[in-house]
Chain A
């Protein structure tokens, strides 16, 4: 997988986080993984189609999700309900959309499918003989992951 995929997604995530929650996420060490799996509480999956095909998975711990929604809304949150999960889905959607705009600069024309949101267990999906990349992102309110599987 090319570095511009990961860099574009990171750049988009950083920009959106700064705007929405005033936080600049730092990159952790990139890992190669065999499948799409998550042990975190809230997961948003975005399908990608067009010149690049695949999936991007955003995985957030519960407390971080609640803190993000609290920063945005100014309201205390104690559970990931429809309001919080919908906000999280939209955040991932915006990051994905911005990442694809950045990738368009490398002449990749792609679209994202509507976000699918999973609260609680996320059933892992195999990527066959291929490899996916897991990008951990560190913030003062918690660590979240973006798992990327894209191919031409």
Chain B
């Protein structure tokens, strides 16, 4: 399991969404790495890709709305990181649409996705929580 309680930022809605994202990415990595043959797990891979694409956008929008609500000073930098991530996901979606779901590319995508998610939530998102606490947690 990838999720650790130290990743919590102290805002319930965002923490719940992060936990869900980690759960999904964790399931996705387990699926693409299990011993089953590739054809058998393709449906689950496709389903996760659709979920990731939609859920990531919902989560980013809500997290950005929260940052705007608390006047978070680094909101623009954070939005830029989200935009770069969405672009990276969309590039893979495009590759999968054009070339099909080949195992090589899916594994590559999985490794990147996992690393990026841990780094983003473990670092950049923590700063939202720190800012909120510095304001006495009153927002």
Contact = CB atoms under 8 A, between A and B. Distances in A.
A87 B114 contact: yes
B35 to A, nearest CB: 12
Contacts of B109: 86
Using C-beta atoms within 8 Å of the partner chain, give the interface range for chain A. 20 to 34
Interface in A34-91: 69, 72-75, 81-91
B122 interface: yes
Contacts of B104: 82
Contacts of A87: 111-112, 114-115
B110 interface: yes
A20 interface: yes
Using C-beta atoms within 8 Å of the partner chain, give the interface range for chain B. 20 to 34
Interface of A is mostly: helix
Contacts, number: 58
Given A19-B123, A83-B107, A86-B107, A91 B29 contact: no
A82 B111 contact: yes
Contact of B115 (A74, A75, A91): A91
B67 interface: no
A35 to B, nearest CB: 29
Interface of B: 1-2, 26, 29-30, 32-33, 104, 107-112, 114-116, 118-119, 122-123
26 contacts: A19-B119, A19-B122, A20-B119, A20-B122, A69-B111, A72-B2, A72-B114, A73-B2, A73-B26, A73-B114, A75-B29, A75-B33, A81-B107, A82-B104, A82-B107, A83-B29, A84-B111, A85-B111, A87-B111, A87-B115, A88-B111, A89-B112, A90-B115, A90-B116, A91-B115, A94-B119
